[in-house]
Structure 1
């Protein structure tokens, strides 16, 4: 794996996990260089080379989703990693099969990886999915698949837009049960007229803790602040996508 990529600091024997940065691939600007998503304007051959390199680096078969900022969770099997397998429209996945990597593709939204006894999961958590319950749905699906309790799950927050750059309007406050007249400044900090800076990692921790997950790490990187290391849609508009992935080691 590229030395610049991120990895959870959790204690999960037999489980692999990583998040790519924009470094280590083949794409040309503005997708330089490890863009892992096709259909953005990048050379498809470069994207394919990046995806092949990524799969080889992790030693597992990544299954990418068609993410729609929703709450649907799919359970993956080896069939989903086949070259001709249909792409699921969902924002989270779980698996109990070794060698299959659950993934989240991001460029500001928060990727959340989960490790449990006998299973793993990944979720794509932008503010819409987060406010509607994508993390709660993922925890429930992982508990069901592995017959574990939320307290047995470890969660890791990858790189997403940070609390100094995520400007939002009142609609986002309301989605999380806050109001323009009464806000918790550790979650929504007043920034400009009718604008606030949202703390997406803190909001994700709130949701996970309320669901009973206690072992939560990560969430300290801001995609928008570090242009040399991370893609950021809000910062650049035309840009690539990074991937966070987690898998049961089948080797």
Structure 2
């Protein structure tokens, strides 16, 4: 199972896929998600999910970005279906986003007609430009030129509250994430789709989804240094493993209801 490039986007297809995940990463790190989110995405692939990532460059026009990544995703999906790369049976489609990727999936679900079995939104934030780009606030550039994202945070909230059409959602926040706004999003989705929204708080921080598993090569004799290395590996990997486990469990509704 190897990454394949499709016109600047990256696809990972297991031998017998059981579903399709459209992944969108955070601002800046979302330009190469097959590298920055490699461990998480590849392990979701090993769990049976075909991964389609559509990298993007962040601009002020988030509506245009959402339209672009959706068009590219649908083009790739149609190509994979035409070539029978995903098999012949029906596969559910899920959106998976981290940070800004959450906003893009929310815009896609609010502004375009899409088929989704559900969305997984990790570390959602919807800050205005002065908070998202601190240098602008320091230089007061936004006050001079009236710069703001399109749609603005307020407009985004209205769109979600009125038009968001993806019924089943998993919202994930981390205990040490100071820029997370999931707690503000949760009641909006709960009011729109009662009892269809799961909200989990996991150990970690805003960068946990970008973590990579550390390969520790021990010497011929297990030394105190090896013990320290194993402890560091386990500490760094524990939060990442837990995140992957909860995502996979939610993707299987019967298994998720057992908790």
TM-score, normalised relative to structure 2: 0.34
More strand by share: 1
More helix by share: 2
Q: Which has the higher contact order (CA 8 A, sep 6+)?
A: 1
TM-score, normalised relative to structure 1: 0.35
